[in-house]
Structure 1
Amino acid sequence: MNGASMPLPAKIRREQIYDLAKTTGLASVDELSARFEVTPSTIRRDLALLNEQGKLARTYGGAMPLEPHPEASLLQRAGEFYEEKQALARWAADQVQPGEHILLDGGSTVGVLAHHMRIFTDLDVTTIGINSLQELGGCPGIRLTCLGGQLREMSQSFYGPLTELGLARMSFDRVFLGADAVSAEFGICEADHVQTRLKENMASRGTHVYVLLHSAKVGQRPFHAWANLPRPWTLVTNSDAPAEQVQSMRDQGITVQLVDTGAGTPPSPTGH
């Protein structure tokens, strides 16, 4: 809802619809109707006009931006939501037990988790992320393996057939994934289908699978590539995540762990 007693002027409403499509991924006609306090037929006319202007492409039940949503680099994402990522990483690190085999995805939040794992004294860690390699390289208590392949510059992580070939020969006690977004309706969102296939392959190799994602990404649809992870898996996000998304995921059998910012404690140097 826009919070006003009267609906926005049509021109402003259409500008906001276009901005919404570019920034977070466009909602459905019904969601836009509720958000802007107008009828679904009004929203359909807005989308049709934006389509005529070359700004949006119509899809079933909504529309999508013709301009691709810009993907942030790992460096850009590293400075975002610092406290939230720290809280998620502390909780995740506390789940790991001595002697386990761990798989770490690329991404900024998983990189923070790698930092919290530096004090572990008996652990096998495999990763595709350069940031995790930098964090854990040289740690005496960690036996570190890199899944090589083609380097993806934006995420500073490896992917491709060589990465997947290595995965096919390994299994893990715990798999920690990142994501660009998550939706109760569609699953795990990434910038392209190469990444979503890799996420699914990584998840299939683990006994316990976690997706670490700060709450601003829950319920968003910035791209059009999705991964359906094998269940069970756990979404680890901050406690201010949208309640309807959290409940919908739980209704689907997905475990959702809500973490307060600043919650959790670093793992014990002796126990982990």
Structure 2
Amino acid sequence: MNIAERHQQIINKLQKEGKVNVTDLCADLDVSSVTIRKDLKLLEDKGLLFRTHGGATLHNPYTIDRSVNEKEKIQSSEKMRIGSTAAKLLEPNDSVLIASGTTVLALAKSIQPKSNLTVMTSALNVALELIKHPEIEVFQLGGLLRRSSSSVTGTYAESVLPDFSFSKLFLGVDGIDLEFGLTTTNVTEAHLNRQMIMASQKTIVLADSTKFGKRGFGRICGFDDIDQIITDRGVSDYVVRTLEGMGIKVTIV
């Protein structure tokens, strides 16, 4: 196999699976890791892929912080379907925790309570959406308000959480990387999210398919801490199989 054929094989695998790793490519193409890394460098120089730790991906894996108003317009119909599906998981007299993000805001907009519901949230826009319903008791976490996300972070918000127990956490993220885990662009928000996971019996991630293969600056957790992910049909079969192999329930809307 010459270099052009090898490069085509790498691109074909990338298009099929969304990402590749050096070890698998070495086995598939019967060449050394040094050769594969040189191939990936050449393909990256041509703008055909992005190298990552131990492999490569078709899309830029690093996400940037955007304002909530900007993010709300991205994948808006997918987010509303995800939010509507998540709302069906609420039970009578439930006590849940809702983190921040435009996908969990879609959840808040989808909730039509038929019985009492208790919600604690770090997101001001989520609280303002839920306070419209007399059946919902809303607890707003306090702390430093981030303008870009309309949510609070910091030690004050974190200090409250150990005094409560929630049946479910609905978590929004900026990135889901099969090697690195779940991330957000803000490290203090990532730390608050970890405390939320510890306070909840079940963690449900709401993320549209554009979040897969991306990494934010702050790591929230690995996949051992996640029970379910609700996403849209844009996620690849390879990613779904991998997540289900980890014991995570994947719901596609």
TM over 0.5: yes
Mark the runs of 5 or more structure 2 residues left unpaired by the alignment.
Answer: 12-18, 29-34, 57-61
Q: Which residue of the partner structure matches residue 245 of structure 1?
A: 239
The residue type equivalent to 1:100 in the other structure is: D
Alignment of 1:212 onto 2:209: no
Aligned length: 226
How far apart are the structure 2 equivalents of 1:70 and 1:93? 28
Match of 1:130 among 100, 108, 124: 124
Asked if the contact 2:64/2:185 (under 8 Å) is kept, the reply is: no
Q: Which residue of the partner structure matches residue 189 of structure 1?
A: 183
Q: Which residue of the partner structure matches residue 161 of structure 2?
A: 167
Provide, for residues 153-185 of structure 1, a one-character-per-residue CA deviation record: whole Å limited to 9, x for no partner: 211101110110111111111110000021222
Shift of 1:69: 4.7
Shift of 1:231: 3.5
Alignment of 1:42 onto 2:38: yes
Q: Which residue of the partner structure matches residue 234 of structure 1?
A: 228
How high is the TM-score relative to the length of structure 1? 0.72
Shift of 1:200: 1.6
How high is the TM-score relative to the length of structure 2? 0.77
How far apart are the structure 1 equivalents of 2:153 and 2:110? 24
How far apart are the structure 1 equivalents of 2:226 and 2:53? 30
Provide, for residues 38-80 of structure 1, a one-character-per-residue CA deviation record: whole Å limited to 9, x for no partner: x624336549989xxxxx9x985369xxxx8532211101111
The residue type equivalent to 1:42 in the other structure is: K
More helix by share: 2
**Residues 27/149 of structure 1: CA separation in 2 closer, same or farther (3 Å cut):** farther
Mark the runs of 5 or more structure 1 residues left unpaired by the alignment.
Answer: 14-25, 51-55, 260-272
Asked if the contact 1:188/1:196 (under 8 Å) is kept, the reply is: no
Once the two structures are aligned, what percentage of the paired residues are identical? Answer: 27
Shift of 1:221: 2.2
**Residues 60/232 of structure 1: CA separation in 2 closer, same or farther (3 Å cut):** closer
The residue type equivalent to 1:61 in the other structure is: G
Match of 2:137 among 137, 143, 151: 143
Q: Which residue of the partner structure matches residue 31 of structure 2?
A: none
SS of the aligned residue for 2:193 comes to helix
The residue type equivalent to 2:164 in the other structure is: M
Q: Which residue of the partner structure matches residue 214 of structure 2?
A: 221
The residue type equivalent to 1:90 in the other structure is: S
Match of 2:148 among 154, 160, 165: 154
Provide, for residues 70-94 of structure 1, a one-character-per-residue CA deviation record: whole Å limited to 9, x for no partner: 3221110111112111111111111
Q: Summarize the alignment of residues 195-206 of structure 1 with structure 2, pairs less than 5 Å apart.
A: 195-206=189-200
The residue type equivalent to 1:140 in the other structure is: P
The residue type equivalent to 1:240 in the other structure is: G
Instruction: Supply the RMSD in Å over aligned alpha carbons.
Output: 3.3
